[in-house]
Structure 1
Amino acid sequence: MPPLNPYHPTLFQPTPSSKAQRITKQWHETANLLIDELIANGSSNSFVLPPEITDIRPFLWRGFKADIKYTYYVKLPYSIESASPAIRNKIKKADAQGYYSTKTEDMSAVYQCLAGTEKRKGFSHQLSVDDLELVRGLLGDESFRCYVSYSKEGEPVSSSVTIVNHEGRALGWISATKSEHLRNGVVQQLQNCEFTDLSSIGIEEFDFYGANLSSVAASKADWGGELRTFYGVRLPGYKEIVRAGRDWLTSSQLLKR
């Protein structure tokens, strides 16, 4: 009988055992080592656990707060027939208008698209070209994979950054598109190009990394992936007080209706 391991072997590898209680004990010991590090660093930011980690009790027992989050996983190699007709039609539209997508090492082109989304949505990714180059240098081009869609004139119009975080899986980190090209199918063409490239290096799963917002969830669901839940855990702090007040206000408004 093979060892019982409910977790991905790259994420958590217990000693060989077929006893569930022994696996659980080892996971709790490992989780507490991680918790000690998080507490020592004193960060109030959310720490995201992969979907394979379903037992978050060690975090709750140590006073952490948890949020349930959602994402879509797409199996690779990808068949475009798995996508909705809307996705396929948008890719055809981009192709017809002369857009083309490719993997790139040009961080300036990636950043131009990030700036386009920042302008449209009124926020900042808090990333510069130098930041992107730094991460690229630290992770290497095999793990830090960037893609850009270009107009027929050669203008970068949409970009996507993916991190190959361990063997067999890739994580969609950032994507951005210039407003004037948003409706032309460039996002969908770029995503399909990305799937093709990741498949060529043996990646078996792509994690869209987030599908909590209704508008975002709808666009990602159209690719036909599998919906999965995962947890974000965080130490309580000032932000927790603000969050609790906001939740109370929302509940009060709903009860008044």
Structure 2
Amino acid sequence: MDEIEVRELVQSEYKEWDLIVEKAQSGTLFHTSEWLEICRDVLSKDLKIYGCFRNGGLVGGCPIFVKNFKGILKVATSTCKMTSYSGPLIKESASSKAHKRAQETHEILNSLRKFLCKQGFDSIHLTFPPGFEDIRPFTWNGWDSAVHYTHYLSLKENIDSNLSTERRMEIKTATEARLKTRAWNDPETYYRLLSMAYEKQKVKPPLPKKFFERVFKLIQEKDIGYMFISETPEGEAVAAHLNLYGKKCAVIWTATLDPDFARLSPYALLYYNEFFDLKSRNFDYMNVMAANIPTFVDFIMGFSPELIPYYSVTLESKKYSIAKILHKTIHKGTY
């Protein structure tokens, strides 16, 4: 096959990248240039989208955020706060033969891997989206790998038959308190609830208000999601989810609640009614991005979701490894 050229995309090529994201089976909203630009602008990230070209046509690539630590270490990662995965993407193969598709994937990923290794990064961390399973071009060449998890809740099954006794009791509690649920896209309400939840823990929210304002604006302009809330009979919002649309799923991207209403179990009712709401919107499943958070796993398991793995790969220089050991030694006992 013809050789793969890898280079950074210019702004005018982002539309072409978004077409790859749209058509690729494992392409997600987190890969899109619009999402990446929100991360770049609000979080002051140095964004690069590297494209892989064959005969002048874009066949794959990978978004990267670059950070320099005091001019000593240069670190590259495909993720940032509350963007759990992104990573390499490959244009869907036209071949019906498995070995041919694997060959094309390996050629593109090997070219990308070699290119990244020449960019002077002291650490490279790539997190692949769920559904992207073949990471061998990296692991076969000395990269470390790790497995992560998310939960898929099928919208084609009978949710009532899959509920645990505890979730049933919580839904009953919320119903008896006359809590209701509905869609309502209001960034002020969401950030108020989020701030209250984090204030209770005496920490700041993970992202600034501006980030959520940009996401809500994107939701309204592109119809790529919505907010779903639980509210009191008086109309006070006490819990909320921000859902982002995927190809066959809705991603439960972030959730929050007013801690003073936790005893009324608004989360349980929110998930339960959201199941039917998303089913009516013709999605196949809910992607509940909380399987790596031990404190939340027990709750979501009460809805009987399917555990889905996804993968990351990492390559570190000796300098970075030494710096990491020194950092852990200096801060030992503070974690």
Question: What TM-score do you get using the length of structure 1 for normalisation?
Answer: 0.78
1:108-187 aligned within 5 A: 108-140=188-220, 142-165=223-246, 167-187=247-267
Determine which structure has the larger helix proportion and give its number: 1
Instruction: Please report how far the alpha carbon of residue 232 of structure 1 lies from its aligned counterpart in structure 2 after TM superposition.
Output: 2.7
Select 1:31's aligned residue among 109, 119, 122.
109
Residue 254 (structure 1) aligns with: none
Q: Is 1:206–2:286 an aligned residue pair? A: yes
C-alpha separation in 1, matches of 2:243 and 2:122: 25
1:60-79 aligned within 5 A: 60-61=139-140, 64-77=143-156, 79=159
C-alpha separation in 2, matches of 1:240 and 1:88: 51
Determine which structure has the larger strand proportion and give its number: 2
Instruction: Please report how far the alpha carbon of residue 9 of structure 1 lies from its aligned counterpart in structure 2 after TM superposition.
Output: 5.8
C-alpha separation in 1, matches of 2:145 and 2:272: 33
The C-alpha deviation readout for 1:36-89, integer Å capped at 9, x for no partner, is 787769696854323322221223346543321122111114523211121121
C-alpha separation in 1, matches of 2:203 and 2:122: 23
35-44 vs 136-145, which moves further:
35-44
189-198 vs 139-148, which moves further:
139-148
SS of 1:131 mapped into structure 2:
helix
Select 1:188's aligned residue among 241, 258, 268.
268
The percent identity for this pair of structures is: 23
SS of 1:207 mapped into structure 2:
strand
Residue 309 (structure 2) aligns with: 229
141-150 vs 181-190, which moves further:
141-150
Amino acid at match of 2:102: T
Amino acid at match of 1:51: P
Instruction: Please report how far the alpha carbon of residue 33 of structure 1 lies from its aligned counterpart in structure 2 after TM superposition.
Output: 5.9
Instruction: Please report how far the alpha carbon of residue 189 of structure 1 lies from its aligned counterpart in structure 2 after TM superposition.
Output: 0.8
Give the 3 Å change call, closer, same or farther, for CA 109–139 of structure 1 in structure 2.
closer
Select 2:324's aligned residue among 221, 226, 242.
242
1:68-107 aligned within 5 A: 68-77=147-156, 79-107=159-187
- The alignment covers a number of residue pairs equal to 240
> Is this contact kept in 1: 2:218–2:224, CA < 8 A?
no
Select 2:135's aligned residue among 41, 56, 65.
56
Give the 3 Å change call, closer, same or farther, for CA 55–115 of structure 1 in structure 2.
same
C-alpha separation in 2, matches of 1:168 and 1:74: 12
Instruction: Please report how far the alpha carbon of residue 173 of structure 1 lies from its aligned counterpart in structure 2 after TM superposition.
Output: 1.0
Q: Which structure's relative contact order is higher, taking Cα pairs within 8 Å and 6+ residues apart? A: 1
C-alpha separation in 2, matches of 1:45 and 1:121: 32
C-alpha separation in 2, matches of 1:244 and 1:66: 23
C-alpha separation in 2, matches of 1:187 and 1:15: 43
> Is this contact kept in 2: 1:111–1:128, CA < 8 A?
no
Give the 3 Å change call, closer, same or farther, for CA 159–55 of structure 1 in structure 2.
same
C-alpha separation in 1, matches of 2:271 and 2:123: 33
Instruction: Please report how far the alpha carbon of residue 106 of structure 1 lies from its aligned counterpart in structure 2 after TM superposition.
Output: 0.8
Amino acid at match of 1:149: S
Amino acid at match of 2:105: W
C-alpha separation in 2, matches of 1:186 and 1:130: 26
Residue 255 (structure 1) aligns with: none
> Is this contact kept in 2: 1:77–1:196, CA < 8 A?
no
Give the 3 Å change call, closer, same or farther, for CA 45–203 of structure 1 in structure 2.
farther
Instruction: Please report how far the alpha carbon of residue 241 of structure 1 lies from its aligned counterpart in structure 2 after TM superposition.
Output: 5.2
Give the 3 Å change call, closer, same or farther, for CA 137–217 of structure 1 in structure 2.
same
Instruction: Please report how far the alpha carbon of residue 133 of structure 1 lies from its aligned counterpart in structure 2 after TM superposition.
Output: 2.4
Question: What TM-score do you get using the length of structure 2 for normalisation?
Answer: 0.62
Instruction: Please report how far the alpha carbon of residue 91 of structure 1 lies from its aligned counterpart in structure 2 after TM superposition.
Output: 1.1
C-alpha separation in 1, matches of 2:144 and 2:114: 15
Residue 17 (structure 1) aligns with: 96
Residue 87 (structure 2) aligns with: none
Residue 4 (structure 1) aligns with: none
SS of 1:159 mapped into structure 2:
strand
C-alpha separation in 2, matches of 1:155 and 1:241: 49
Q: Give the gaps of 5 or more residues in structure 1.
A: 1-7, 251-257
